[in-house]
Structure 1
Amino acid sequence: MHYASTAPTLASGATIAAFNLGNALGAWAGGTAIAAGLGYRSPIWAGAVITLAGLAVMVTAAALTRSPAREVALVA
């Protein structure tokens, strides 16, 4: 909400949408892994891959948020 102070409702809606998208993606990936014949433990690995992808997005977003260009724009 810190970055969306002018549109908190939109930010809240985007958060819920991202949560629902993650649920759908996880169910799809787990089902696809089982259907591919990888066994009933394969959804664990599919979930790990999705988690790592989400972590990469979060780290990238945090790095872009702390960029020097953004700090200069906030000061000006």
Structure 2
Amino acid sequence: MKGVMRFGKKGKLSPRYIGPYRISKRADNVAYELKLPQELAAVYSVFHISMLKKCMGDPSLITNSRYWDQG
């Protein structure tokens, strides 16, 4: 599809989540604005709550994803 940005590969077991990213503000009753990195500048930063997944865990264990992408 022209003009559509996709994350990951197509397929049944493809990853569906990117992140985690911090919520910068509540845009509406059911929408939040996320603080996205510069690499995702083309992505609109406001998301409906049904598209978000709560990040549970120890915040000190979160690493920068750039190091994993280098393979």
* TM-score w.r.t. length of structure 2: 0.23
Higher helix share: 1
- Please give the TM-score of this superposition, normalised by the length of structure 1: 0.22
Structure showing the higher strand proportion among its residues = 2
